[in-house]
Chain A
């Protein structure tokens, strides 16, 4: 869509775009180009010699057992976080959408965790599930369950999943609620007149009409689980014990920043880049369906 009434100026638009474009070039395109370049070369530790090795870094990374481990951890972690966060978000939204007393009050009480930083959420849950000082962790041990997130990999994974999902429920709640409120009441009433029970009304009428929201949230939650949960893992487990909670993004950080393996870390970055591009493209298709430019 184009405007009919536009201003005429040869220089001004470029000046207005300049700050954004400068930041974009220096901090986005140049580093991203560097990442792609680094992923295709091998450098000696002093950076004196650079050898072009094409896809060797990728082959090394993809054949690396610890990378496959990170892939598996990411899969389990993401599926769990997305299922918990979206499932609870939907349940709460459907419930809050019913006209009950105090609806707005509940809404306020259900949206604030969005504002809690993932690393802060991590510290709250650690304090509860700490094996020797945490309320729940201590009780578990007293009940004979040997709970220790620092030694047991599945316990660690469970803890990061819990902290990461807790914070994300609000986000899904807000969007599901907005989605539910945009469904015309008359459609649901029509289904009721046709004799559909409340369960049937939900699964046959409401849920399908909600699918654009659900799809959009799915993409956003995948991005959240992949990238934004770095803080949870970094402050709770540092990927451990062993590599039990090392997700793909955490591994990029460890290999690049801690182990200084530039080629390997860059190759991993490029793989993640492809993931982001795919997800953004999917999301954009959704945008095109919903929003008319």
Chain B
């Protein structure tokens, strides 16, 4: 039997964890502070570690205009947040919809080339955007889908991982349930809607959390596909605002934008922690 945790061991554990939390929180704290001062205070290198009086102005300016004295050519943060929100939620919904029906087909039907199709989906795991940048861009350009939501979203909707997870879950659904549904005269789609989907609800919730964050945080793809500022996502917008990283730029706006950009995905993780952890640990297995 183990001796109960000693006081000293407890102290060092708290110390390590607090230090970890501090390192995580510190950059965000500084960003929040930065977003409450005016451009001059920051540029002179005089920013204190206390909040300044300009919070409302800075956030308002970022939200409604997105441009400052030096930062030019960015869309209002509200517009870019909307783009990110659309991208995150439609990618999550789309990936789940497309994957759940594929997995249903593979797990509940017997048909020629079944495993061939399954492997075709599986192999896309090995083809991330990064290794096919230019040809994929060409496809989008040929389809006239640059600077559109379809272009941002559709190519990212295929999902090998989500398909694998749903398939694995479907294989655990007892045969008796299927038999019972059949005896009651339910066809495959009736079974899918009335029995299978409700059973999968916790898997769907967990995946939705992970995939929303995935979509919101996309970088390379929106960078390639969107050239008009109206279509930029918030993450790309921040890079544009930073530009060459001059000391004399509108840091207060960049920090306000950074804080706003991380708010939705962080809120999703914190508020839906249980689904998040479940989704993460299950997607990767």
Residues 142-163 of chain B: 1 if any A CB is under 8 Å from the residue's CB, otherwise 0?
Answer: 0000000000001101110001
Residue interface bits A226-247, CB-to-B below 8 A is 1, else 0: 0100110011100000000000
Interchain CA distance A169-B265 in the complex, whole Å: 17
- Contacting pair B269 A5 (CB below 8 A): no
* Partner-contacting stretch, out of B22-30, B53-61, B71-79: B22-30
Q: Is the CB of B251 within 8 A of A127?
A: yes
Across the interface, A110 reaches (CB within 8 A) one of B24, B134, B219, namely B24
Is A138 positioned at the interface, with any CB of B under 8 Å from its CB? yes
Name which of A52-60, A66-74, A89-97, A202-210 contacts chain B. A89-97
Which of B99, B131, B216, B255 has a CB less than 8 Å from the CB of A20? B99
CA distance A216 to B216 in the complex (A): 25
Question: A13 and B111: CB pair below 8 A?
Answer: yes
In the bound complex, what is the Cα–Cα distance between A259 and B26 (angstroms)? 39
**Are A10's CB and B111's CB within 8 A?**
yes
- B31: shortest Cβ distance to chain A, in Å? 5
A21 interface hit (Cβ, 8 Å): yes
B27, A13: Cβ atoms closer than 8 Å: no
Residues in A whose Cβ lies below 8 Å from that of B258: 120, 123-124, 127
Chain A residues within 8 Å of B, Cβ to Cβ: 1, 3-10, 12-14, 16-17, 19-21, 23-24, 26-35, 38, 88, 91-92, 95-96, 98-101, 106-121, 123-128, 130-133, 135, 138, 150, 166, 169-171, 174-175, 178, 188-189, 192-193, 216, 220, 227, 230-231, 234-236, 249, 252-253, 256-257, 262, 265-266, 269-270, 272-273, 276-277, 280, 287, 290-291, 293
User: Which of B14, B120, B236 is close to A100, meaning CB atoms less than 8 Å apart?
Assistant: B14
The answer to whether A133 and B47 have CB atoms under 8 Å apart is: yes
- Chain A residues closer than 8 Å to B163, beta-carbon distance: 20
Contact (Cβ within 8 A) B262 A111: no
Nearest residue, chain B, Cβ from A107: B273
B13 close to chain A: CB less than 8 A: yes
Partner of B131, one of A108, A125, A216, A273: A273
Q: How far apart are the CA atoms of A112 and B138 in the complex, in Å? A: 36
Instruction: Compute how far the CA of A100 lies from the CA of B20 in the bound complex, rounded to whole angstroms.
Output: 16
Residue B179 CB within 8 A of the other chain: yes
Residues of A within 8 A of B266 (CB): 112, 115-116
How far, in angstroms, from A277 to B127 measured CA to CA in the complex?
Answer: 8
Which of B49, B99, B101, B281 gathers most chain A CB within 10 Å?
A: B101
Q: How far is the CA of A29 from the CA of B120 in the complex (A)?
A: 9
14 contacts between A and B (CB under 8 A): A7-B109, A7-B182, A27-B155, A98-B5, A106-B21, A115-B262, A115-B266, A115-B269, A117-B235, A120-B261, A125-B27, A126-B245, A128-B26, A130-B247
- Of the candidates B47, B131, B188, B280, the one having the most CB atoms from chain A within 10 angstroms of its own CB is B131
Tell me if A35 and B132 are in contact (CB < 8 A): yes
Contact yes or no, B127 A273, CB < 8 A: yes
**A123-B242 contact, Cβ under 8 Å, with A5-B178, A110-B21, A249-B130:** yes
Q: Is B203 an interface residue (CB 8 A)?
A: no
* Chain B min CB distance to A225 (Å): 12
Q: In the bound complex, how far is the Cα of B133 from the Cα of A132, in angstroms?
A: 36
Determine the distance from Cα of A34 to Cα of B138 in the docked complex, in whole angstroms: 10
Contact A234 B219 (CB under 8 A): yes
Complex Cα spacing A128 to B78, Å: 26
Interface members, chain B 229-285 (any A CB < 8 Å): 235-236, 238-239, 242, 245, 247, 251, 254-255, 258, 261-262, 265-266, 268-270, 273, 276-277, 280-281, 284-285
Is A120 touching B99 in the complex (CB atoms < 8 A)? no
B10 to chain A: closest CB distance in Å? 6
Q: Which residue of A lies closest to B109 (CB)?
A: A13
Known: A127-B30, A133-B43, A166-B27. A119 touches B134 (CB 8 A): no
**Residues of chain B in range 41-56 having any CB-CB distance to chain A below 8 Å:** 42-43, 45, 47, 49
Chain B residues positioned under 8 Å from A106 (CB to CB): 17, 21
Asked whether B124 is an interface residue with its Cβ less than 8 Å from the other chain, the reply is yes
Contact A272 B130 (CB under 8 A): yes
Q: Are B136 and A31 interface neighbours, CB within 8 A?
A: yes
The answer to whether B139 and A31 touch across the interface, beta carbons within 8 angstroms, is yes
Beyond A16-B104, A23-B98, A32-B132, is A231–B219 a contact (Cβ under 8 Å)? Answer: yes
Closest Cβ of chain A: how far from B2's Cβ, in Å?
Answer: 5
B265 to A, closest residue via Cβ:
A115
Q: Which residues of B are found within 8 Å of A253, using beta-carbon distances?
A: 133, 220
Closest A residue, CB atoms, query B18:
A106
Nearest CB of chain B from residue A94's CB, rounded to whole Å? 9
CA distance A220 to B161 in the complex (A): 14
A220 to B106 alpha-carbon distance, docked (Å): 27
A110 to B23, CA, bound (A): 10
* Distance A118 CA – B187 CA, assembled complex (angstroms): 46
List 15 extra interface pairs beyond A110-B20, A124-B31, CB under 8 A: A16-B102, A27-B139, A32-B131, A32-B135, A98-B10, A112-B24, A115-B266, A123-B31, A123-B254, A127-B251, A166-B23, A171-B280, A175-B284, A265-B134, A273-B127
How many whole Å from A22's CB to the nearest CB in chain B? 9
Cα distance A135–B2 in the bound complex, in angstroms: 46
Highest count of chain B CB atoms <10 Å: which of A127, A174, A193: A127
Q: Give the interface centre of A12, A115, A166 by most chain B CB atoms within 10 Å.
A: A115
Flag if B168 contacts A293 (CB, 8 Å).
yes
